[in-house]
Amino acid sequence: MDYLNIKGPMSLQGEVSISGAKNAALPLIAMTLLSKEKMNITNVPDVVDIKTLLKLLGNLGSQYTIDGNNVSINTLDVNNTTATYDIVKTMRASILVLGPLLSRFGHCEVSLPGGCAIGQRPIDLHLKALEQMGAVISIQNGYVRAEAKEGLVGAKIIFDKITVTGTANIVMAAALAKGTTTITNAAREPEVVQMCEILNRSGISITGIGTAELVIEGSNQKLLDIKEFEVIPDRIEAGTYLCAAAITNSEITLTNVRRSHLESVLGKLTDMGCEIKSTESTITLKPAKKLKSVNIITQEYPAFPTDMQAQFLVLATQAEGTSVIEERLFENRFMHVSELQRLGANIQLNGNVATVIGKTKLSGTDVMATDLRASSALVLAGMVASGETNIHRIYHLDRGYEKLEKKLENLGATITRLKE
């Protein structure tokens, strides 16, 4: 098993190119099930989660090739509509095949995804919406068995709470449904917006893109002509590198990035004293003379993203004063706190609120990653800690960050991937 060895403290400089967004690429790959011909997708990140979903599509009968960051997928020969537990258990996003499989074939079986380290992510909202669209759904032997013999029918869907994966799933289901589907309280994340824009260009009329209400005109099971497209840049990867610059008191420039996707993150960095300069596709961070404390509440887009909570919590350990970070989306998303305390961080937890007292001197030691974003937070901590930090279980990191240690090395970091 691999681990990362980091020698700190350090400073960074230079440019780093941001990869395609994993959270955009996953639903877009599932969306290929709606295509009537071979599809090419560019700027796909080379991360484990992508390979897992492609393997699942392969098991369903698809053919695919990977050439660097370009993926070609042909789903015309899909002859299996069962997404098995052995793959779904490794990645919850596999549930994204439920909507397109059901809308295309009228039936499917998808394994329940099981638990998630950072908290409950129930799929009941997905299932309720599909039932409203005419599906008959049952849970048998750990599988969602869904059937719509005459195809799905448009419906008025009101999500009780915002769900990014649920919105993507129902948008794909609605694309091949008969009639009009209205989704109220839809997710507004850039990753959902990109899917809607691509479907819109492919003959599916979608109004309200980027708002909380989507109106989708279905094709009545007619497969779509989807042209080649490029995955949007990863806003969470971008935010992580900005935090790396801020915590190491360094100036770096991000390329292949969209500022409009990062306004809440950039706002908090500015509040902490950092200076941000940007162009259409670059962002440069100039570090604060003295980092200031910050208050953060995680909420759905366009508010502050839960996927940046762990990175800012680490950053707050190096700020002067007391920072308060409230996690409103996932109940177990402070598991990195105990590992940061091992490094010397002064963090007090009270339910879903973390109080960080800074500035604190961190000292390197052995720590363990517990989830994807916690992994990146430990990397940031290791970069500012004195001595050596060893981060174990970095398979979490490999799920969502492309060539992280290589990119950091190119910026001047002393970070090495080693074997246990």
Catalytic residues, which ones? 116
Write down the number of H helices and E strands in the chain. 14, 24
What type of residue is 363?
A: S
Does an H or E element contain 63, and which? strand 63-67
Strand partners, 337: none
Residue 168 carries which DSSP code?
H
- Let me know how long the chain is: 420
Q: Do the bridges between strand 251-255 and strand 13-17 make them parallel or antiparallel, or are there none, so unpaired?
A: parallel
Beta bridge partners of residue 321, listed in sequence order: 358
22-31 and 190-201 helices, crossing angle to 10°: 30
Residue 384 phi, psi (nearest 5)? -105, -15
Give the contacts of 406 (CB within 8 A, at least 6 positions apart).
none
Per DSSP, the three-state class of 405 is helix
Of residues 172, 183, 177, the one with CA closest to residue 211: 183
Q: DSSP states of 193-228 as a string?
A: HHHHHHHHHTT--EESTTSSEEEEE--SS--B-PPP
